[in-house]
């Protein structure tokens, strides 16, 4: 019982550290070279090195437009476009979600575009940053994982 109370107290302290990010205008452009993905399924031959080229245009402290192209987990080329919304933070770590669309996965709409909603955690320090995106699995069509995206501010 004592361990459970300690865990609940620790969680409550962390929850109280979450703050709402003020929405202020911004004008920043970040570039990235794709992702590295740890896939939830290890018994399938998937591409973990999802190299590519992408951008993130931050027009406010909480919102950004994202776009790019990368070599996806199924060894095909994917394009993506979306909107990041990061209304919460724990210190310098932003918390939010990406809503958008992606293509290039042959088992999903024959490689056509489909909607994506994924949680995102981000960290930025001066001109460098990282996004961690949780990609949900969808049946046997889309293999989920945790993607790390490094970025630089231009």
CA angle 130/49/110 to nearest 5° reads 105
| pTM for the structure as a whole | 0.83
Residue 15 is predicted with a pLDDT of: 55
In the chain, pLDDT over 70 holds for what percent of residues? Answer: 90
The DSSP 8-state label assigned to residue 142 in this structure reads B
Q: Which helix (H) or strand (E) holds 14?
A: helix 2-16
- Which bin fits 105, alpha (ψ -120 to 50), beta or left (φ > 0)? beta
Computed over every residue of the chain, the mean pLDDT equals 88
The set of residues, in sequence order, having a beta carbon less than 8 Å from that of 85 and lying 6+ positions away, is 62, 63, 96, 97, 98, 99
Go through the domains of the chain in sequence order and give each one's CATH number.
19-153 (2.40.160.20)
Other Cβ atoms less than 10 A from the Cβ of 28: the count is 15
Which pLDDT belongs to residue 66?
A: 97
Q: Above 80 in pLDDT, residue 7?
A: no
Grade residue 3 by pLDDT with cuts at 50, 70 and 90.
Answer: low
More confident residue, 11 or 127: 127
With a cut of 80, say whether residue 5 has pLDDT above it.
Answer: no
């Amino acid at each position: 019982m004592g361990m459970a109370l300690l865990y609940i107290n620790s969680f409550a302290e962390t929850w109280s550290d979450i703050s709402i990010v003020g929405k202020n205008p911004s004008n920043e452009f970040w570039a990235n070279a794709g992702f590295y993905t740890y896939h939830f399924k290890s018994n399938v031959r998937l591409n973990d090195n999802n190299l590519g080229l992408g951008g993130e245009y931050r027009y406010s402290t909480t919102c950004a437009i994202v776009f790019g192209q990368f070599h996806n987990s199924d060894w095909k080329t994917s394009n993506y476009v979306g909107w990041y919304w990061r209304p919460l933070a724990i210190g310098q770590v932003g918390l939010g979600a990406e809503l958008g669309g992606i293509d290039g996965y042959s088992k999903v709409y024959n490689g056509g575009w489909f909607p994506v909603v994924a949680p995102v955690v981000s960290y930025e320090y001066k001109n460098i940053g990282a996004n961690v995106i949780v990609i949900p699995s969808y049946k046997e069509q889309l293999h989920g994982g945790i993607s790390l995206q490094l970025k630089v501010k231009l």
